[in-house]
Amino acid sequence: MGRSSKDKRDIYYRLAKEEGWRARSAFKLLQLDEEYQLFQGVHRAVDLCAAPGSWSQVLSRKLRSSNETSEVKIVAVDLQAMAPLPGVIQIQGDITKVSTAHEIIRHFKGEPADLVVCDGAPDVTGLHDIDEYIQAQLLLAALNITTHVLRTGGTFVAKIFRGKDVTLLYSQLKIFFQEVTCAKPRSSRNSSIEAFVVCQGYSPPEGYKPNMSNPLLDHCYDVDFNQLEGPNRVIVPFLACGDLSAYDSDKTYPLQVRPLLFITSLSTQRHQYENLPTSSLQLDTGKEYNYVPPNQPPIRPPYQEACFLKKNNLLAKERPPSPVSTPPATNTSEEDDASSVCEETAIQQLSISS
């Protein structure tokens, strides 16, 4: 079982490996695009928090297939190192820093971007309030950097955790975009609080000057936006995207089932696909299941050395006490007639401390 169990539990994980995506998140962007045609007319795109790079892969494939050639430019940013991808310019940097914004602009030779996407997520601590807060801060950082690089009318897509303060974020996004919706791709698990904000029609407030430590974004958390009534109340529509015949990310599919390649199922085979009951289409029992290893293992993760030490049994351990020898036994039996019967061999009386 072992390594195949994730394949059973998560069809998108398996699909991603079989189709050569570096992460299953690729399908989220594909499904968002299906709903919003995100890539139409896009030449310059920024992928914030891009590692290991599956969104960059999607951007690269989608933008290059719709645009003739040359003018496409994709810049990917992440704190972590990322394996090179042809046609994608990489910046290893922090999206909360102004220098990163400058670097992006430099790559676009002063031209603004048409699309900024951000799939950023902090390392989860498991404390939900803190995770939601950090995620919100990361989204604000992404929005801030976006105000530096996005053209008017451009699109911004970012991951959001739908926690209890989500309305505050919506209200902040509404200041900068004509249309804000909350979308959940079918490949994003039902069991996760993750969703995506799709912000279209960038139009910053008049006279707004981008600034990396912008107080405009630093709304105070005291105002309870959830409680606002009437016209002040911010309502962001919700949309589940990816059509119903798409794979269900929460469903467990048998391994003997051979998934259809997603790219083809999205375009050419779409109509046939919809007419068939999902299960019969997927059952291809003639095909043996083959385990496919992940495409992109993490590059130099922080735990690398610790894992190396563990593997070689070099982690510090509670030290077992080392044996101390007692002096050789001294007063054992001196009797030589080992053949004597039982009653005669009770040699010494012994008082045992009790």
Give the list of residues 6+ apart from residue 130 with CB closer than 8 angstroms, or none: none
* CA angle (309 as vertex; 304, 315 as ends), nearest 5: 125
Closest CA to 30 of 192, 261, 263: 263
Find tokens 């950097």 and name the residue: 145
Per-residue HEC secondary structure of 54-71 comes to HHHHHHHHHHHHHCCCCC
Shortest gap between Cβ of 32 and another protein (angstroms)? Answer: 14
* Residue 345 binds to another protein (criterion: CB under 8 A): yes
Q: Could you say which DSSP state residue 206 is in?
A: T
**Is 78 annotated in some ligand binding site?**
yes
96 contacts ligand SAM (rule: CB under 6 A): yes
Instruction: Report the residue number, 23 or 160, with the smaller CB distance to ligand SAM.
Output: 23
- The verdict on whether 164 is a catalytic residue reads no
Closest by alpha carbon to 225, among 174, 183, 164?
Answer: 164
55 binds ligand SAM (CB under 6 A): yes
User: Residue 138, interface with ligand SAM (CB under 6 A)?
Assistant: yes
CA–CA gap between residue 137 and residue 212 (Å, rounded): 13
Query: Smallest distance, Å, CB 214 to another protein?
Result: 17
Which of residues 119, 131, 165, 194 is near ligand SAM by CB under 6 A?
A: 119
Interaction between residue 251 and another protein (CB under 8 A): yes
The DSSP line for 114-181 is EEEEE---PPP-S-HHHHHHHHHHHHHHHHHHHHHHEEEEEEEEEEEE--TTHHHHHHHHHHHEEEEE
A 10 A CB-CB count for 69 gives 6
Of 126, 205, 231, 293, the residue at the interface with another protein (CB under 8 A) is 126
CB of 205 to another protein, least distance (A): 24
Of 86 and 329, which CB lies nearer to another protein in the complex structure?
329
Residue 16's binding partner among ligand SAM, another protein, none (Cβ under 5 to 8 angstroms by kind) is none
Return the one option of ligand SAM, another protein, none that residue 78 interacts with (CB less than 5 to 8 A, by type).
ligand SAM
Which one of the listed residues 62, 73, 159, 184 is annotated catalytic? Answer: 159
**123 in a known ligand binding site:** no
Give the annotated binding-site residues for S-adenosyl-L-methionine: 53, 55, 78, 94, 119
Active site residues: 159
